[in-house]
Amino acid sequence: MHLINMPEKGWMSLTVREDTGIRVKKLARVRELTVDEFVKSLLDLCKRDIEIDEGSRGGAVSTGLWSTCPRCRKRVKTENLDAHMRRVHGLR
């Protein structure tokens, strides 16, 4: 086992398969980003799929696809969008 020296505090190593690591590096370079910036952008895209309910004990995780209502711009689970349109906007 060998230790990897990180350049400064706040760094962590992430273990992925070699082919995944190479692919992520290539995709980051094509976009002229660092690997860290690229991974953060991927995680930002995932935020729409996973919401953490701060009000629940322990922060309950609610998964699923989210949509934005075209009328009021409220974020609603995609599966509930039809019900939202009927209930809030009176559309059938």
Within-domain flag for 1: no
Q: Identify whether 7 is part of a domain.
A: no
User: Residue 66 domain-assigned?
Assistant: yes
**26 has a pLDDT exceeding 90:** yes
Closest by CA to 42, choosing from 54, 33, 55, is: 33
pLDDT at 74 over 50: yes
Q: How far does Cα 75 stand from its chain's mean position?
A: 15
Q: What is the DSSP string of 12-25?
A: ------HHHHHHHH
Question: What is the number of domains present in the chain?
Answer: 2
Q: Is residue 91, in this structure, part of any structural domain at all?
A: yes
Is 32 part of any domain? yes
Nearest to 39 by CA among 21, 63, 18, 51: 21
**Predicted pLDDT at 4:** 58
- H-type alpha helices, the chain: 18-30, 35-46, 81-89
pLDDT band for 55, please (50, 70, 90 cuts): very low
Residue 2 lies in a domain: no
Domain residue limits at 87: 48-92
pLDDT cut 70: percent of the chain above it:
68
Pair (61, 85) in one structural domain: yes
Are 90 and 59 contained in the same domain?
yes
